[in-house]
Chain A
Amino acid sequence: MYDVKVRGSLIEGNKSYHQISEDISKPVENKPPKWWYIAMSISTIMLLGGIWAVYITISEGIGTWGLNNSVAWGWGIINFVWWIGIGHAGTAFSIFLLILRQKWRTSINRAAEAMTIFAVLAAGLFPMIHMGRIWFAFYIFPYPNTRGPLWLNFNSPLFWDVVAISTYLMVSATFWYVGMIPDFATIRDRAKKTGSKIREGIYGMMSFGWDGSTRTWLRYETLAAILGGLAAPLVISVHSIVSMDFATSVMPGWHTTIFPPYFVIGAIFSGFGMVLTLMIIIRKMYKFQEYVTKDHINAIGRILTFISLIMGTAYMTEIFIAWYSGSEYEFYTFFMNRITGDYYWAFYIMITCNAIIPQLFWFEKVRTNITLVFIISIFINIGMWFERYVIVVTSLTKDYLPSAWADYSPSYIEIMFYLGTIGLFLVGVLGFFKFIPMFAASEIKGILRSTSEKPVRLEDN
């Protein structure tokens, strides 16, 4: 049985079931606050900027980016991996905690999964726009054709990416949506009471005619279990596959067996970072302290401490192997072009943000100081971006033949595009704030009895 003493209480303010429905449905039913409009317009502008950058890229050519013959992948792929990493948190979060029967997931997984969806969407854009001839992008699908038929190279990690990421998007989307159905039903019923036809119509449509029948609940639970059980290995495989984009190639600094686990952990790390950022915002902006309690933050903090230790170890291992392997190319990449050399700053930003700063979470005080946690979570996001920057850029700029070494710096088009995807992400998230119940009400109700010290209050007053 759940022990409140250890984890602390997950829902405060001695809620009643009805109260929970009330709280969670409110943002959907009321007009959004002023800050929401401001945020929305800002992120829309960013999004438009991104669209413009994409237009330029497609009409003029990839040459508008800062790439060259030696560094053929730049920000495009860095951001792709970064976003995918973030995209991992959501599902990883809800799934692993679901499997581990961690009850405190309930008030976070909805938001985390929403984040996943938008992050993966943003991520998916990069490899697409990154193509030289995007108008032939459909070549990448193995469809029957009259060229022989000419199929694909199924050994190519890029094709693995396509399969894995589309599957991942599909699975997490369904997982997310299935989770929302009962809450839609709640909103539908409430709408019926208040008599707002439109909302009733829409959410009625979306709730798939949900009635809390126990039979349905049984199957529903089973389905959730299956999805979870399948999504767990998927999450791991997807980022392993992304890592194989690098690991299966011959470039020094890429061609290592440590990459899959290292990337998966990294992904979860960045993901949790972003979850923190997001949850703290929700908590603050929507006054949800009672659902996202200090103890939630605390729990995430503990996990991050551990993961950041793993990250640190991974970095150390890489560097050690680079020396121990005796491969002069590996050695050069790590010692002359990461630890020292033109890109040392990126390397040290990475180390500091990922391996050192999170160590502050050892202290209870830090873990429970929301502002601090927020700042650190931002640092983690930055650090993880730089990790990808270090991996991609340093290996490509100086690889095997010094004659071909070339430096790399992004063009403003690339930067615009990146900001654009951030805009896309924010628009998505804000939309989520407005139109979708931010917590899995039914699940919270489910754990209410077992996770609060006081007995559940059944009478509303």
Chain B
Amino acid sequence: MKKYWRSLNELQGDLKVDSDPEFSITGINEDEVKGTGKTNRRDFLKMLGFGVGYATLAASCETPVHKAIPFLIKPDEITPGIANHYASTFFDGNDYCSVVVKTREGRPIKLEGNKLSGLTQGGTTARVQASVLNLYDSARYENPTKRATDIKWEDADKEIIAELQSIAEKGEKIVIFSSTVISPSTKKLFADFIEKYPSAQVVYYDAVSASAILDANQKSFGKRILADYRFDKAELIVSFNADFLGNWISPIEFTKQYSSKRKLEKTNPGMSKHVQFESTMTLTGSNADYRIPVKPSDEGALLIELYNKLAAKSGKTILSGGNAIVNVDSLADELWAKKGKSLVVCGTNDVNNQYIVNAINQLLDNYGKTIDVNSPLLLKQGNDEEVKAIVGEMNAGKVSAIFFYNVNPAYDYPEMDEFVTGLNKVGLSVSFASAKDETSKLTKYSLPDNNYLESWNDAEPKVGLYSLGQPTIQELFNTRQVQDSFLKFIGAETSYYTYLQKFWETEIYTKQSGLIDFTSFWNNSLHNGVFETANEAATFEFNSDGLADAAKNVISAGSGIELQIYENIGIGNGTYANNPWLQELPDPVSKVCWDNYLAVSYNYAKEKGLELGDLVSVNGKFELPVLIQPGQADETVAIAMGYGRTNAGLAGDNVGQNAFALINNSGNNKGYFISDVKIEKVAGNQKLALTQEYHTMQGRNIVRETSLDEYVKNPSSGNEAHLHAEEHSTTLYPKPEFKGHHWGMAIDLNACTGCSACVIACQAENNVPVIGKEEVINRRIMHWMRIDRYYSDMAGNPEVFNMPVMCQHCDNAPCENVCPVAATPHSDEGLNQMAYNRCIGTRYCMNNCPYRVRRFNWFQFTNNEKYSFTDNLDLSKMVLNPDVLVRTRGVVEKCTLCVQRIQEGKLKAKKENRALKDGEIQPACLQSCAADAIIFGDLNDKESNITKAYDNERNYHLLEELHTLPSVGYLTKVKNKDKDDFIA
């Protein structure tokens, strides 16, 4: 700790160059003493606040000297020891989330969902949760550089502006190569830039492109928009290869909507039905009621088939080229029956398919009902054609200046080699990457951007829905946020902060009428983080002229083995490759971490004689280990993108292989699947880091499920074992009673999608160490909360069950009995406590825990070179939660139900002299859950939701026949599925 503070004092020297008094870090000045000075929570030296630096000489018997360094000037809103929360906005060019940043002594340590946001409604994803660690990423650029040598900001600005002007005079092309920008003010700023340098052009580039959807909408409505889908209004969801719960466009929003429709209340039970056509098993597919594995190339024909069936019903003209790989008659009937209450989505980046999908939705007249074209999403704006054109021009030497904002094409552009050669032809190339990446290595200048937690920002993820991002910490390094750089380039004197305020004053403040002066409007939106306005309805005319051609041009009958390149939950498109938390997050479906792999179908593996981990070469490009993925369509294979980074940093470098290299860029839109893949078995077998090696329930009723109509008949169907256990529960000892609280948790298996946000949230909240691939292979992963995934069978197309498992806090805990030193007794509030400092590490409790939720510190994972992921570097240690002890080697640890939050909540209530409200205390997992699948509360409070959940017939306890009396309940999974599959 001490060292860390010192290092920041040293840092202070470098940071003095920051002239902006608002961000001044040079202690305080006279008027601040008098209290009239500007205060700013972002003042870092002050942040260094009451960080009790330990210069401890523990070894000797001398009294160790602990320094207590108080604030120099204590900002009003900071009380050492109490967390501050600031609403902010997360957007990385891919996912959007409105967040609340929890800071301690000025350090952001945790992100929580912002309940006030109409879009994300407090939900988060694993990536959002983990993004706080990127702030403390050791791979971040610490200074602006020119050709990899440090340079002063002033000089850099001078040089670049000079070059820009000369280029602009010559009228040569300047390109801003940017990821999707949803910040209206930044867009304005770009406009200003173009105004200054007319030859400039902004190109939006998405590594994971939805360009086809935009184009399709262009065709169908004449507007290049991205409609907002309403899964909460659809009773029948048919998804073609769209992983809308995991990665597709706006997963948090969709998960919220989806799960709201999957929850069952006893009065009028009803839930949506979800049909998924896809080649590889995605998170969404694993949650579908019906999942039909199809080859990517069959999709077009299938869509036409479905369209024709529906067209027949509505008397529209039939399209040519349909063929029934799957019999969709009954699906069509059902859709037709659910007219206006159904939703068909497609994730394939192919304009024809998308066009037909639009047509289908049009037939079902879902527009305006389950598809909101009126206030569309702005989360994907990339235009593949433009990008291709630009890369072409670059190679043709037509581009003389290029700025990379939040993109890494040198890594994720399909023909990256061509791109690189093109880039070398560009005279002035600037990258704003805040951390090491492949592109910034090649550019002339690297002007590192701030982390989003250090920057001001605004966002408009959806038309009419605005949100603000505010800095929660002073820049850790000598970085400058992009917008400020552009302001410098256009010669503006203002800081982006003022620019932003001015923009909001003129553009957005006018949109509302509630608040009379801007300051209060600003403070209000800053406080809430979001601001929503109603926007006037526009008319949309569906234009079906192109349909026939579309049907003709649809890709059909692909040949040979087809390869699907998909995005996985943790790493996504590779931006987070250097985030150890996400690297170690097991994929929700395959349970593999620290690697990508070639997913093959069971039959394919059988005929080719492939075993788990066998190395194969893919198109001769690279070699990958094989994973046999149940549910993988035959004759197809799949690889996750985002791996194989070469300049990411400690954790991310050379993990897996880069699948972007395989993307088909021949068409107008990037094709994320390719045909005729050559797969040859090569020598060797590479062990995959699996966190679960046995995939079926062995016929044990661990996850209990029933079907909707069964449930309607009998609410406790599928849960008979619970009744049985209740009847036969007998004990020698009196049933434990709890005078005060009795904390309990319930998990709705029907709502849970297995997205794993809770896993990372738990890791962030409880300082859970990252242990690296080797130790994961040794089955020593430290996650306090794991998500068990079971297949109904290992071959063919199994059903998938997700089950979050954490410490069950049994009232008859087997682990408590066996600890010789009583390191894990039961609390008076029903918690199974773990006193780390008492534990001597006999590991008896681990053996005796039937749920296997106890974790042992096999090595010293802190301050240990060998595990230099999170808890070794001073920088990354800043993310640690000061309220939770960092465990030492040789002790057992486990889920505490976030006891620190419980205590905090109780204390709050006591201080305010009031009773505890139900739902006031939220464990990290619950807080992060986008599906609201987790319920927590006081079982002694008869009104609480948890008690209601326990009274629910669906409630049961894991392994309850052992009579461990867990305090964690599970609600049975209900599938909306008929006895006889209505799809062949």
Contact = CB atoms under 8 A, between A and B. Distances in A.
Direct contact of A and B (CB under 8 A): yes
A68 B890 contact: no
Contacts of B858: 61-63, 67
A133 interface: yes
A132 B843 contact: yes
23 contacts: A60-B859, A61-B857, A61-B890, A62-B841, A68-B779, A69-B781, A69-B846, A130-B842, A132-B891, A137-B840, A153-B817, A153-B822, A156-B818, A156-B820, A158-B819, A245-B844, A250-B850, A251-B848, A401-B958, A403-B692, A403-B803, A405-B694, A406-B693
B725 interface: no
A400 B851 contact: yes
A133 B844 contact: no
Contacts, number: 167
The 7 closest A-B pairs by CB, nearest first: A132-B841, A132-B890, A63-B858, A404-B852, A403-B788, A72-B843, A68-B779
Given A68-B779, A249-B814, A403-B805, A63 B821 contact: no
Contacts of A151: 822
A392 to B, nearest CB: 9
A405 B692 CA distance: 7
Contact of A72 (B803, B839, B846, B860): B846
| Chain B CB within 10 Å, residue with most, of A61, A396, A405 | A61
A211 interface: no
Given A61-B858, A403-B788, A403-B790, A131 B697 contact: no
A140 B841 contact: no
A137 B814 CA distance: 22
B775 interface: yes
Nearest to B959: A400
Contact of B821 (A60, A139, A399): A139
A248 B818 contact: yes
A328 B721 CA distance: 14
Contact of A156 (B844, B846, B890, B964): B844
Interface in A222-256: 245, 248-251
Interface string B836-876: 00111111101110111011111110000000000000000
Given A139-B838, A248-B818, A402 B696 contact: yes
Interface stretch (B172-180, B522-530, B698-706): B698-706
A86 to B, nearest CB: 23
Nearest to A157: B818
B316 interface: no
Interface string B783-816: 0001011100000000000010100000000101
Contact of B840 (A131, A251, A398, A402): A131
Nearest to B698: A402
Given A68-B780, A406-B779, 13 more contacts: A61-B860, A67-B843, A69-B780, A132-B889, A132-B892, A133-B839, A153-B825, A158-B842, A250-B962, A328-B699, A398-B694, A400-B852, A403-B786
Given A132-B843, A156-B819, A158-B818, A401 B852 contact: yes
Q: Which of B842, B844, B856: most chain A CB closer than 10 A?
A: B842
Interface string B663-698: 000000000000000000000000000001111111
A133 B841 contact: yes
B778 interface: yes
A70 B847 CA distance: 7
Contacts of B775: 63
Of the candidates A139, A396, A404, A407, the one having the most CB atoms from chain B within 10 angstroms of its own CB is A404
Interface string A196-214: 0000000000000000000
Contacts of A60: 859
B846 A61 contact: no
Contact of B814 (A67, A250, A401): A250
Interface in A63-103: 63, 67-70, 72-73
Contacts of A285: none
B890 A131 contact: yes
A404 B841 CA distance: 20
Contacts of B700: 328-329, 400, 402
A60 to B, nearest CB: 7
Nearest to B835: A150
Contacts of B848: 249-251
Contact of A401 (B788, B841, B843, B856): B788
Contact of B847 (A156, A159, A251): A251
Interface of A: 60-63, 67-70, 72-73, 127, 130-134, 136-137, 139-140, 150-153, 155-159, 162, 245, 248-251, 328-329, 332, 396, 398-407
Given A68-B779, A332-B698, A401-B805, A73 B841 contact: no
Given A139-B838, A396-B847, A152 B788 contact: no
B694 A73 contact: no
Nearest to B782: A69
Given A158-B844, A332-B698, A70 B850 contact: no
A250 B960 CA distance: 13
Contact of A249 (B698, B805, B847, B859): B847
B820 A152 contact: yes
A160 to B, nearest CB: 9
Contact of B859 (A61, A73, A140, A159): A61
A63 B702 contact: no
B53 to A, nearest CB: 26
Nearest to B964: A250
Given A69-B779, A248-B818, A249-B814, A132 B856 contact: yes
A405 to B, nearest CB: 5
Contacts of A402: 694-698, 700, 702, 790
Contacts of A150: 822, 838
Contacts of B860: 61
Contacts of A62: 841, 843, 856, 858, 890
B814 A133 contact: no
B621 to A, nearest CB: 34
A36 to B, nearest CB: 39
B840 A139 contact: yes
Nearest to B837: A136
A152 B838 CA distance: 11
B790 A249 contact: no
A69 B856 contact: yes
B618 to A, nearest CB: 29
Contacts of B695: 402
Contact of A400 (B840, B841, B850, B854): B850
A156 B823 CA distance: 11
B383 to A, nearest CB: 44
Q: Which residue among B702, B816, B838, B858 has the maximum number of chain A CB atoms within 10 Å of its CB?
A: B858
B847 A136 contact: no
A415 B846 CA distance: 23
Contacts of B844: 72-73, 156, 158, 245, 249
Contacts of B852: 69-70, 399-401, 404
Contacts of B959: 400-401
Nearest to B961: A327
Given A72-B847, A405-B693, A132 B805 contact: no
B890 A162 contact: no
Contacts of A68: 778-780
Nearest to A63: B858
Nearest to B692: A403
Contacts of B817: 153, 155-156, 248
Contacts of B857: 61, 132
Nearest to A155: B817
Contacts of A248: 817-818
Nearest to A58: B890
A15 B242 CA distance: 95
A225 B844 CA distance: 38
A140 B847 contact: no
Contacts of B892: 132
Nearest to A398: B694
A400 B860 CA distance: 29
Contacts of A405: 693-694
